[in-house]
Amino acid sequence: MTLTPRLTGALLLSLLALPAPALAAPAPAPAPAVAAGPHRHSAAEISRFLTVFYGKHGPSRYGREHRVSQVLKDKQRDNPQSDVLLCAQGQPRTIGVGAVTVAASAGVGWATVTTGWDSEHTDTFTAYVRLDSQPIRLDDVICAG
């Protein structure tokens, strides 16, 4: 079959009358594959954790049981005369958590914690958190004096 110019024009007009398919936007380039490593806690996360963990007067029973490392549980068992999480005996009047430092290469973050006592006396100690602990937990406490 030979198409005459008249038939070709009619065919072209009928094709133009059909609804045009929506043009799809080009697909975005796939994101490069990134190996997802373990979550590492930021200074802000550690600060929030320590502030909640210590609260206003010391860690809760739940925190002591579920938010501390086995190292601290063993240290407490070996030192029943003192509260190793507070480096003292008794309940402080106030607790403040200082700025958090993160040493990514060592895998740890820490902050100075200051406790205030009834006698207007204050003490400090350093609280350590492993950056990869899941869930976040207190890893160790080093008393100042």
* Total number of domains constituting the chain: 1
**pLDDT, tens digit (0-9, with 9 covering 90-100), for 16-66:** 455 554 445 555 656 555 555 678 999 999 999 999 999 999 999 999 999
Please report, for the domain that includes residue 117, its CATH number. Answer: 3.10.450
Q: Is residue 77 part of a domain?
A: yes
Q: Is residue 18 part of a domain?
A: no
Q: Is residue 50 part of a domain?
A: yes
Q: Is residue 114 part of a domain?
A: yes
Q: Which helix (H) or strand (E) holds 2?
A: none
**pLDDT, tens digit (0-9, with 9 covering 90-100), for 117-134:** 987 899 999 999 999 999
Q: How far is CA 73 from CA 5, 78, 99, 123, 126, in A?
A: 93, 9, 25, 22, 17
Q: Is residue 33 part of a domain?
A: no
pTM above 0.85, yes or no: no
